[in-house]
Structure 1
Amino acid sequence: MPSAGLLSLILAVLQRDVIASLRRGSEWSNPLVFYVMVCALFPLGIGPQPERLAELAPGILWVVALLASLLATDSLFRGDFDDGTLEQMLLTHQSLYPQVLAKTLAHWMMTGLPLSVLSPILGVLLQLPPAGMLPLMASLVLGTMVLSFIGAIGAALTVGLRKGGLLLSLIVLPLYIPVLIFGSSVVKTAIDGGPYMPQLAMLAVFFLVALALSPLAICGALRISVDQ
């Protein structure tokens, strides 16, 4: 497929999925509401002491963002599977790789990106020092993109199951752990005044690897799920 046609296909699928997600509303609003509510509960549960909240804030924000991203992952291919669009995607002559790439990027734009933008406000709520705000956003932008690609593999494997949410969590949560470790380490190191760029660079490496290889795994998983 020529590069211009490939780009047009990616943009068309991306636009379709973003518009559909905006119309449904719950796909992008539920993770945000979950993120805000759970982060708001932590000061009530562990106490309002600023020093303690500041110490725990990087881990809290990253864990809750991870769970909020996972909350919307099950629906990534579910709608297309239910209405037959996914089967048509597999039967057409067009390459499946750019289509799943666009769908995963659309999922990140509607979940991971809003979570990253909202994170500094919740950082203030959790007494996160100013030195950690920018590293928090940067780590979440990269990290949530990796989470979306990993989650898309699990969503593709479980899309044919009627209640695959629990199985999806069991598949992807162990793969999320390295991203969580490096993501929270970026923020903690920045707060302590240390060099956090090595950890941020590792997140960038994770993203590049996921960008190149995850769509291949997603394509294979979708074919397995639809053929069952």
Structure 2
Amino acid sequence: MHNSALVAWGAIMRREMLIIGRHQLEWMNPLFFFVLVITLLPLAVSPSAEQLAPIAPGMIWIAALLSVMLGMDGLFRSDFEDGTLEQMVLSSQSLSWLVSAKVVAYWLVTGLPLTLISPLLGMMLSMSSENILTLFLGLLLGTLSLCLIGAIGAALTVGLRRGGVLLALLVLPLYVPILIFGAGAVTTSALTGSASGQFALMGALLALALPLAPLASAAALKISING
């Protein structure tokens, strides 16, 4: 890989982090939403550990999925509106390569914080330590896949004024396998002591999403700009 490509990738990452630093409250909304949903769950269902523990993994995964998607609509929108996206398209660097930097930056401020705080929320919902570890590892794999897939929907709807609903309709069906494998890993681990099968499937999905999602996002961005 050429040094110029690494320099460009690093420049995009630095730019994204600077923008995030200037809008900290806006970028913390997914984390606030995630914590709020899980905190309200015992009030809506029951504070009983016997009732909370079985549904906790599924609820945490659903809340994480919705939280990641919450800010996805704005992933490319500001760049589209101020002309930065056109400069990225005209750049000598691969657009998919630059897009991957934006997605990783988004994951660092959304998916990763959700993953790091999930053990605490799992304890609050009376999950066992083994299940909490399985949940944590699953979210670590799954949230990056969610961000990569969501970027495709964000790229397709970047030119629309109210693309949030359409974005949800586009990406939610693609999110379902990750949700099933992620929540199922905790259940399987509790029953058999191992969730290697689910982790292998989630790893395979991530391995496919890492190269293919930025390519699809770049193609969608070019269509949105030219259209």
TM-score (norm 2): 0.97
Superposition pairs of residues 33-112 of structure 1, within 5 angstroms? 33-112=32-111
Partner of 1:211: 210
Residue number in structure 1 paired with 2:16: 17
Q: In 2, distance between residues paired with 1:37 and 1:142? A: 23
Give yes or no for contact 1:78–1:159 (8 Å, CA) kept in 2. yes
Q: Which amino acid aligns with 1:214?
A: A
Structure 2, unaligned stretches of length 5 or more?
A: none
Paired with 2:128 and 2:189, the residues of 1 have a C-alpha distance of 9
Say whether 1:3 aligns with 2:6: no
* Matching residue's letter, 2:74: S
Partner deviation per Cα, 1:101-152 (whole Å, 9 max, x = no partner)? 1011111111000000010111111111111111111100110000001000
Check the 8 A contact 1:129/1:191 in 2, yes or no: no
Provide the secondary structure at the position in 2 that maps to 1:47: coil
Does structure 2 retain, via aligned residues, the 8 Å contact 1:77–1:156? yes
- Secondary structure of the structure 1 residue equivalent to 2:28: helix
CA distance in 2, matches of 1:211, 1:29: 25
**Partners of 2:5 and 2:93 within 8 A in 1:** no
> Aligned equivalents of 1:113 and 1:15: distance in 2?
17
* Amino acid of the structure 1 residue aligned with 2:102: K
Contact 1:150 1:214 in 2 (8 A): yes
Please say which of residues 192-201 and 125-134 is displaced more in the overlay: 192-201
Partner of 1:120: 119
Comparing 165-174 with 23-32, greater Cα deviation is found at 23-32
Residue 192 of structure 1: SS of its match in structure 2?
Answer: helix
Structure 1 counterpart of 2:150: 151
Structure 1 runs not aligned, ≥5 long = none
Shift, 1:78, TM fit: 0.9
Please give the alpha-carbon distance, in whole angstroms, between the structure 1 residues aligned to 2:101 and 2:221: 15
In structure 2, how many angstroms separate the alpha carbons of the residues matched to 1:26 and 1:165? 20
- Equivalent-residue separation in structure 2 for 1:27 and 1:176 (angstroms): 24
How do 1:127-166 and structure 2 match up within 5 A?
A: 127-166=126-165
CA distance in 2, matches of 1:187, 1:6: 39
For the aligned residue pairs, the C-alpha RMSD in angstroms reads 1.1
**Whole-angstrom CA distance in 1 between matches of 2:69 and 2:142:** 13
Q: State the AA in 2 paired with 1:65.
A: A
So what's the TM-score if we normalise by structure 1?
0.96
Q: 1:193: how far off?
A: 4.1
Amino acid at match of 1:72: G
Runs of 4+ in 1 over 3 A off after TM superposition: none
